[in-house]
Chains A and B, each alone.
Chain A
Amino acid sequence: MKESNKINVALIGNPNSGKSSLFNLLTGMRQHVSNFPGVTVEKKSGVIDINGRKFEITDFPGTYSMFPNSSDERIVVNILTNPSHPQYPDLIIYVADIHNLERHLLLASQINDLGFDMILLLNMVDLTPDFKSSDFLSLKKIFPGTILPFSTKTHLNLNTLKEEMANFDRDQNSQLNFIFDKLDTKVLGQVSKVTNVSNQYFNKLILHHYAWLEFVTPGMNPKIEDIAKSRQFENIKEQVSETMLRYDAISPLASKTSKNLKIGDESFTEKIDNIVTNRIFGPILFFALMFGIFQILYSWATLPMEWIESLFNSLSTLVSDQMPKSWFTDLIVEGIIPGLGGIAVFVPQIALLFLIISTLEEIGYMSRAVYMFDGLLRKFGLNGRSIVALVSSGACAIPAIMSTRTITNWKERLITILVTPLISCSARLPVYIVLIGFVVPAGTVYGFNKQGLAFMVLYLIGIIAALSVALILKYVIKSGGDSFLMIELPNYKKPIFKNILLVVKEKVQSFIVEAGKIIFFISIILWFLSSYGPGNEMATAEQEAKTVALEQQLDAKSTNNLIASAKIESSYAGHLGKWIEPAIRPLGFDWKIGIALITSFAAREVFVGTMATIYSIGSDNDELNVRQIMAQQLKPGTNRPMYDRATSMSLLIFYVFAMQCMSTLAVVKRETFSWKWPIIQFTFMSLLAYLSSLAIYQIFS
């Protein structure tokens, strides 16, 4: 139920109309991101107070027309034709780019015909100093409501807009001035009898979209279908002819309004595009840019990541010093704080990545990359728009998966989400560093560092796997919806940093909150499993380890290490490791690696720490030390090293393919709104990892 004293305001407009800037301007930091009920489309809203009246402002997805092409646009149509929807607007603020009035007024005229109260903003006036406000008077013919020249940059008329909102009268009826072929009025009359709504345009939309509109109940559906069939209603043809009719009405007025407007930057844009989208330089520039971004991500994020780690470490120390010794303190110090630290440590990378990507988007570069790679990616069941996700996943799959929201075709978006985690992310790095040394000896080949080449091969395997799986999914997933490219390449422009910072803030926040909840619980479970064991097995193991340590006269550090490893072996996690050992033995793994596999389900980078604990050298994460100790391990009952070439290669391949990241699964769940897809993803990635490791080990051992 809607609060009666709160006024629902919808911000509607085409993509690139400056709608989101207006939203940020109106709501400031008081915004809230959630999802439109029941669908995967993000909903941004904020409640503001103007002269004592409360307005809930909702930023609707960018929309071109009431004949939608994407799931985003369908949301808009669904809400605007469903008066009982909680977001059904009392007032619409329609944002149009004054330089593109002809195109941007199409949807405005459709909304006007639905009888909504509408304030029409002619945005980006700041870019056209020649603009005279008398110029837009002719628009009144079609749009009887308030029309304001506006600028989200200079805040021109922002106060007038707020006044208009404050004086908004809910009962006011806007004048209807239909611009569409009334068809046979009888047809719409028939529909009206079914819907009980008198607005003719509303009924026409019902006739167009009855198959999927929420307003149409199962009872209404067959009746409307009957009308459509008996009257031979040609949906697509009608859409096109209505669109034409509207443009016929809008174009003369729009050209009159914008006749004085000069857009200075389009030839500039064309000149830049001669290089940026050049058939040869374009892709080269793209890859150079990506290389640069990864350099930045690896180098700039390292320091803040270390700060966060040491912050959480000192937090652990502080808590364990201040609180009495108990299981509860252990849970906080060994379970919850490291768990939360594990999330927080990704924040610098996520923030940086989104800073860079939203800057590229604000400038207008990303749509160029989409255009350049659409053809290639489409062959793999992806969309040109997938390029953004594939690029980002080299740093971290989580922001990459969040960036797929721009892909409107559900199947293409889903495939992108499902294959993105196969691209090697930064969390695999420590694992690769530890293991590559066992497979490839140091040295050079043709002047290249051998281990460096092996590194590149691992990344390449990930990329090839992502594209191959995409290709398979293309034929497996049956989901309707046409695939389009049709994308606007906006003129290059200077980025507005406030917008970028808000995007970064919102992404980081949603990552911490949503993924954090799940990591929190799983880290508690993992802590429990590795801290407790059945019966008093762990106490016994500890006693035995102490005895052994005394006998061998070990120093304090070695004693502690021995105890730690004995305890882990007898913990539930140790039992789990032994339990899965038969399954992983064909891959060349023993129960100790088994524990590492289980713990690194939480996050891959846990591998090194677990190895360190198990091989009882304390978990000080010193990779060289871990490697030395691991190199000394022997296969049980033999003289051969445990980490020989076959086992190490097998383990490496396992980490390339396996889905070992709870945060990613949590985000996939959030983006696909069910556990179905993360489970499928987990299953196929695990299978791929298992079978590849099996093959590698059997061939090379």
Chain B
Amino acid sequence: MQAKKRNVLDLARGESSKIKHVEVGTCACKLMTLGLLPKSTVKMIRKSPLGDAYLLKINDHFIAVRADEAITIIID
């Protein structure tokens, strides 16, 4: 059923999931330092009013990422 890798953008608003890993790329280290670590819970809070930023809740804190940054966050 989940043959395709799911990323954070596949989450519906208010939906949570566990992070599998962050794909290797220029954002990876920074995303990890913001707490996007394997096994952390990520919750999609909402899309930004204008454009393509997303407000995420990682365990118990909040970060905002752009779509092209979010797409590298692979979830269960």
Residues of A within 8 A of B (CB): 14, 64-65, 67, 69, 99-100, 102-103, 106-107, 236-237, 239-240, 243-244, 247, 251, 263, 266, 269-270, 273, 277-280, 282-283, 367, 370-376, 378-379, 384, 482, 484-491
Contacts and interface: CB of A to CB of B under 8 A. Distances in A.
Interface in B39-70: 45-53, 55, 57, 60-66, 69
B5 interface: no
Interface of B: 22, 24-35, 37-38, 45-53, 55, 57, 60-66, 69
A270 B53 contact: no
A236 B26 contact: yes
Contacts of A236: 24-26, 28
B33 A243 contact: yes
A64 B30 contact: yes
Given A489-B62, A489-B63, A376 B33 contact: no
B29 A65 contact: yes
Contact of A374 (B29, B31, B45, B51): B51
Contact of B47 (A107, A244, A279): A279
Given A236-B28, A485-B66, A486-B63, A270 B57 contact: yes
Given A64-B30, A103-B35, A237-B24, A279 B46 contact: yes
B33 A103 contact: yes
Contact of B35 (A65, A100, A282, A378): A100
Contacts of B53: 371-372, 374-375, 384, 485
Which residue, of B28, B46, B48, has the highest number of chain A Cβ atoms within 10 A? Answer: B48
A211 to B, nearest CB: 14
Contact of B30 (A102, A273, A484): A484
B45 A240 contact: no
Given A236-B25, A486-B30, A488-B34, A263 B49 contact: no
Given A64-B30, A239-B29, A491-B62, 15 more contacts: A64-B34, A239-B28, A273-B62, A279-B47, A280-B49, A371-B48, A371-B55, A372-B48, A375-B66, A484-B66, A485-B65, A485-B66, A485-B69, A486-B31, A489-B63
Contact of A486 (B37, B47, B52, B65): B65
B48 A375 contact: yes
A9 B35 CA distance: 28
B52 to A, nearest CB: 5
A263 B61 CA distance: 10
B32 A243 contact: yes
B45 A266 contact: no
A410 to B, nearest CB: 16
Contacts of A485: 53, 64-66, 69
A280 B49 CA distance: 7
B32 A482 contact: no
A488 B28 CA distance: 15
Contact of A279 (B29, B49, B57): B49
